[in-house]
Structure 1
Amino acid sequence: MVNRSDVHYFGAGPAPLPTHVLEEAAKVLLNFKDKGIGICEISHRSPEANAILADTKQALATLLDIPDDYDILFLQSGGSGEFSAVVYNLVSIWVEKKRAQIAQEVGDDNDEVLKRLRKAVDEELKLDYLVTGSWSLKASQEAARLVGAKHVNVAVDARKSNDGRFGTIPDESTWTLTSREKGGPAFVYFCDNETVDGVEFPQFPKSLVGEDAPWVCADMSSNFISRKVDVRKYAVIFGGAQKNIGNTGIAIVILRKSLLPPVAQYASPDLLRQLNLPVGPIVLDYPTIAKNNSLYNTLPIFDVWVAGQVMASLVDSYGAKRIGGQEEISNDKARLIYDTLDKYPDVYRVVPDKSVRSRMNICFRVHGGDADKEKQFLADAERRGLTGLKGHRSVGGIRASNYNAVSLDGASKLVTFLNDYARGA
């Protein structure tokens, strides 16, 4: 029998979880707080479930120093569901804001308001996407499917400057963001860390800063709680839990409360239908989820509990450093692995440009991508207890996912193997 301690798992998701959390999870699955029933059996509306929600929110707010004017939501959509949710919600706000402006100009002539609003939607509605990898590409495609390609402005497609492949983030001076002089986009969307392609934004884009900055939505599924984040720069941050935070089953959304009623008003479903715009499902409706404390429908409380335990352990471990403590370790592990790969350019080639290398998903090729040699590399690694290193099926190669639950010891053992393999290659 293989012991858990003998294996270091580098899979990209579902990703490894801290062993102490899993050990406690095994207990509460059978008997939660001495109630004689498991955590998966308690009511999602019980006091215990509400306490789990509150504790998990507090742990995340503490880690990331989330301001009081932001809300935290839990949904069952996964990250891909949020590709749609940000469109449904923020387009609805944009439409209602535009309708109110027009109504103020023309008064109570509803036919004229609708006529001008249709024209505004047709000519002005734009959603800006920074496409730097496979997941932001999927998000932009979903937006085009929902509202039509004419409304989706791909402000940057990183493949165009890299021989048709992802692996860079072009200079901001080349981005074609929707002009703020013309009202700007409904939002700007980017994926902070591209799991498939190993590309991570080294910092928040400078062109998205300023008093008149557009609403920024970021997918942080694969680098959530791995480094400091200035939450105030974002309108919406979301992530699937199954990378750094917990197990598959929930998405976590951090959003400005000003995007919720009564501050923000949403277009009515009838108006959206008149404009040929989509009406989103209620389980992705941010006002509904927020109003019901994420309990509009049956929330998987066990998944929230796991996420809460992971985050609470980080709070306990790093104290005043908060997420900065985890950031230091994440950076150290990534540096160890990249430095080793760079030592052997004849054997290893890191896929993304050095300026945008992901700390979370380290993508590289062995012997120029020779299929047989990469297969042998994976087999040799597995014999040493280093598993989950196969690259995404769409790009191949090797991928070492360096999530929080990968220990420094695990990263060091991977480095030892990389050295041994290169010397014997």
Structure 2
Amino acid sequence: MREARLLVIDDEPIACRQLEQVFRHSPYSVTTCEEGATGLRALEQERFDAVLTDLRMAGVDGMEILRRARELDPDLAVIMITGHATLDSAVEAMKAGAFHYIAKPFRIDEVREVVAKAVEFTRLRRDNRTLRDQVEQGGRKATLVAQDTAMQRLLETARQIAPTDCNVVLTGESGTGKELLARYIHNHSARAEGPFLAVNCGALQDELLASELFGHEKGAFTGATQQKKGLFETAAGGTLFLDEVAETSPAMQVNLLRVLQEREVLRVGGRTPIPVDVRVIAASNRRLDRAVDRGEMREDLYFRLNVVNLLLPPLRDRRDDIPLLAYYFLKRHSLSMGKRIDDIEPEALERLVEHDYPGNVRELSNIIERGVALARTANLTLADLPRALRETRARVVHEDAAPLRTLEEQEVLQIRQALEQTGGNRTRAARLLGIDRVSLWRKIKRLGIE
């Protein structure tokens, strides 16, 4: 386990030195700041496991430190230390989310005990958030659960390209786990020890996205009260995941292209380019080549990003994985809620497998999470599932059922998926399909595949 990092903020230098001494021989790395404003900058630029801050300081006080810390990292434990101990200030700090409240003069053993609990609290909260996010948002450990043959081939391709440091495009419907696959690639790369940062490009307006990606200088615009590093800088040595990259404006696409070509960024309001060392993985829920054809995406940016293209299949096309994923989520959500749900009753599992999942893996995770929350026994039952799954079957096999695909239609689909996964490389696509390149060429010609 990595060394825990503590941030101490106190405008009395002697207090900072004293706390440094307290933790000199502890398993903690201590950063001290003798001004509230300096402490804020440290919070915004680095990651800590606990914060000890004086409550009353000139300028930026402890309450402002607490407020900003909770905005940046809701799981971070903040401990208030003050010589002005009053009931009102204690209540105010605790209501605002402080982890603990210590009055000066403090006892060394008390401080050590509180900090140990605070570090444990932060790590537990972060671990629990990681468990919840592993498939929904892509967890830090990037556990991918699959026994479907096509999905296993996709993961093998991801492992093969991970060490190459090339840019990657991930496509697939919403909820298929694109960010999770991006983390998986990151964790199998030489950058695994570096940061993995993600941004949804479609969720921010140009001005906010530019500030988020490239950073800004102090005074660059109204509200820019201090310099800020962008994600391209912050992700140095690691991976930057650009979700919904096709939703960016033409102007933003020009800026992204420049960064990818020159390997440097220009902060908003800045004049000096800053070198960056980061791998870019982009994602979209629609095909980027079609966005290029429609004039919605620059072709040069597309080619810069699309060195390798991996297509994540929807969950309805990998039904063999549904039981495996259902039990995986059952374990994770039971652990995070502190409940013991050991099994899924056969009828409930049958309905789960039959459902078509327009929301894909994310929807399955939500269904299991809801079931765990409602479960009253050690098994997940049909009664714990949403009404839509209890009352109807998504796939009913009878004479009026939707017709199956013909073998030729299935062959076209498989070939197109293989070509998309390999960025149009027919040699690699043939290898994925288990045939030689000449056979693939003949099939493409015979089936009229573009």
Is the TM value for this pair above 0.5? Answer: no
TM-score band w.r.t. shorter chain: under 0.3
TM-score (norm 2): 0.23
Q: What's the TM-score, normalizing by structure 1?
A: 0.24
Structure number with greater Rg is 2
Higher relative contact order at CA 8 Å, sep ≥6: structure 1 or structure 2?
A: 1
